[in-house]
Amino acid sequence: MKTGILALQGSFYEHATALKQINRDYILIKRPEDLNKIDSLILPGGESTAMLKIEEENNLFENIKILIDSGIPTLGTCAGLILLSTNDVLGKETLKSIDCSIERNSYGRQNQSFEALVKFHDFTGVYCFIRAPKIINYGEDVKPIAFLDNEVVGIQKNNVVGLSFHPELTNDVNYLEWLESFILKGSNVGTL
């Protein structure tokens, strides 16, 4: 089986690079039939409104939602977190896979992007925030797993992880070990 990377728009090639570094086969997801041979999923950063508009043509997200609900490990970064949230985006319904509210572009515009120390899972690393969404609140069954100072920037609900930042742009050893454990072994799914 392979990891599927949503490839409608955004940083999907950077996630592919991370998967190559942990020797994981992947497939770029553009159509519902691309989902047939995956056992894990990554929703990349990019522009959430563009992704929602593009997928209208083939109802890809209906099939993605079924897979996520079936329990496959799913990671969403930046725009991927927006797609997983319970927020509608400009009148378009998201996947609603994590009970959380987010504020899009909350950390500023493109030219206000920054790198910062993030405590993620059981390690700390420098990660990129690019027009990042802010996690405003989250449900009782959602666990915070990443922090920028005292602010929650990463959450998990069972098999689904959403991050405000872009770990795929640095691909440090700690992140790659976490990714391997989460995607390949499933050992972090639902245990944090």
In contact, 83 and 50? CB cutoff 8 Å: no
The pLDDT value recorded for residue 91 is: 77
Cα–Cα dist 127/116, whole Å: 6
User: What are 50-89's pLDDT values in tens digits?
Assistant: 888 887 778 899 999 999 999 999 999 999 999 999 988 8
In contact, 156 and 143? CB cutoff 8 Å: yes
Q: Which CATH number fits domain 2-185: 3.30.300.30, 1.10.10.10, 3.40.50.880, 3.20.20.60?
A: 3.40.50.880
Of these residues, 15, 55, 78, 121, which one is catalytic? Answer: 78
Of these residues, 15, 100, 128, 168, which one is catalytic? Answer: 168
Locate the domains of the chain by residue range: 2-185
Of these residues, 14, 55, 128, 166, which one is catalytic? Answer: 166
Active site residue 168: yes
The pLDDT value recorded for residue 191 is: 45
Give the predicted TM-score (pTM) of the model.
0.92
